[in-house]
């Protein structure tokens, strides 16, 4: 990877994050009412995921271009965690500031987004010795982990973080759905989708950590990818079920957003699948896998365009149309990450 391309791939997450932030502020201050409040704050919160993805991109790229010092080793993942905690605190503040429906929905979704950003920051932490994947791929399984790899204890701790985030999200989902009111219904379903993404990111963290430690087995080659496929499919199917289960207008936002969150899961699949398919073997179509997040991003953005038109006659489409733009930005950010992974794992140590 040359330096110019590395700058581009690092810029994409920052640009997408800036778009989410600017779009969220524009919505928030461009009108009044619950719809503007929810859509604006959700897009602002999505900035945290884009920044966390930037820390992952920068962590891997700086190793590939040999500009990775001790400062960046600590600063990048740490800043990702700080932004993640800020997003969670932002959500808590929204919930605590008022008991109105829009505060409950926007606040809990922001908390769920912060949990995802925490998981993505863990991907960055796991990737601090990313180049050892190629070293391990050139070794025999019985040779054990190479020098400098994560210790067994650290590896388990890294894998545990997204699992814990997913559990927190699912518990929050249960509490919201048990409220039995409209805000709980909307926020509960969306937080469930966000929690499924956290669980999907467990697959990515586990794949990276276990390949670095030379512990990735043939049996795992598709195991982790199937976890992501299942989570993405559940989100999409649940979204469809929510849309067809009743005729209440408030079902539209969680149903559509769940489908968008399922598309994010399939964007994450491109990363886990790529790492699995090129582990200790050649895969000629590896450079085509980055097209998957491009397709999911385009799907989100084209869907948003139709939903924008629909919102002119039905206000219930206002929130999902705006949120789908932010989800499309996240999907496109994942394109840069999977492209970096493809560049970093192609060729070396493969038979």
Q: What does the pLDDT look like over 161-190, one tens digit per residue?
A: 999 999 999 999 999 999 999 999 999 999
**What pLDDT, on the 0 to 100 scale, is given for residue 346?**
62
Q: What are the DSSP E strand ranges found in 80-153?
A: none
* Of residues 196, 194, 224, 195, the one with CA closest to residue 209: 224
* 121 vs 132: CA distance, rounded Å: 19
* 320 vs 130: CA distance, rounded Å: 37
The parts of the chain modelled with pLDDT lower than 70 are 1, 284-286, 346-351
Specify burial of residue 246 (Cβ count, 10 A radius: 0-12, 13-18, 19+): exposed
**What pLDDT, on the 0 to 100 scale, is given for residue 344?**
72
Q: How many residues does the chain have?
A: 351
* 25 vs 37: CA distance, rounded Å: 10
Locus of tokens 């199917």: 237
**What pLDDT, on the 0 to 100 scale, is given for residue 351?**
39
The conformation of residue 68, written as its DSSP 8-state character, comes to -
Max CA separation in the chain (angstroms): 64
Q: At what angle do helices 223-245 and 182-212 cross, to 10 degrees?
A: 170
* 39 vs 60: CA distance, rounded Å: 32
- Contact partners, residue 251, CB within 8 Å, separation at least 6: 185, 242, 243, 245
What is this structure's pTM? Answer: 0.94
pLDDT tens digit sequence for 59-82:
999 999 888 989 999 999 999 999
């Amino acid at each position: 990877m040359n330096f110019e391309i590395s700058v581009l791939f690092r810029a994409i997450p920052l640009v997408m994050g800036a778009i989410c932030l600017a779009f969220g502020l524009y919505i928030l201050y461009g009108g009044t009412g619950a719809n503007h409040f929810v859509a604006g704050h959700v897009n602002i919160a999505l900035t945290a995921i884009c920044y966390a993805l930037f820390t992952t991109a920068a962590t891997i790229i700086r190793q590939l271009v040999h500009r990775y010092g001790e400062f960046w080793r600590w600063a990048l993942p740490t800043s990702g965690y700080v932004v993640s905690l800020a997003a969670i605190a932002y959500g808590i503040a929204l919930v605590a500031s008022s008991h109105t429906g829009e505060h409950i929905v926007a606040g809990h979704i922001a908390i769920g987004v912060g949990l995802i950003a925490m998981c993505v920051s863990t991907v960055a932490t796991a990737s601090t010795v990313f180049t050892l994947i190629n070293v391990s791929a050139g070794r025999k399984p019985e040779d054990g982990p190479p020098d400098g790899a994560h210790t067994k204890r650290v590896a388990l701790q890294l894998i545990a973080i997204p699992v814990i985030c997913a559990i927190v999200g699912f518990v929050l989902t249960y509490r919201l759905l048990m409220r039995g009111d409209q805000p709980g219904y909307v926020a509960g379903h969306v937080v469930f989708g966000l929690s499924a993404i956290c669980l999907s990111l467990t697959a990515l963290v586990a794949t990276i950590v276990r390949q670095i430690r030379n512990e990735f087995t043939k049996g795992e080659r598709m195991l982790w990818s199937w976890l992501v496929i299942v989570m993405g499919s559940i989100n999409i199917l649940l979204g469809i079920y929510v849309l067809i289960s009743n005729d209440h207008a408030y079902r539209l936002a969680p149903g559509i957003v769940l489908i968008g969150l399922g598309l994010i899961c399939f964007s994450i699949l491109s990363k886990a699948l790529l790492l699995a398919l090129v582990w200790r073997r050649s895969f000629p179509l590896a450079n085509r896998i980055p097209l998957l997040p491009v397709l999911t991003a385009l799907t989100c953005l084209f869907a948003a365009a139709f939903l924008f038109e629909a919102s002119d006659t039905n206000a219930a489409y206002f929130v999902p149309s705006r949120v789908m733009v932010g989800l499309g930005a996240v999907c496109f950010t994942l394109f840069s990450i999977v492209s970096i992974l493809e560049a970093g794992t192609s060729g070396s140590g493969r038979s």
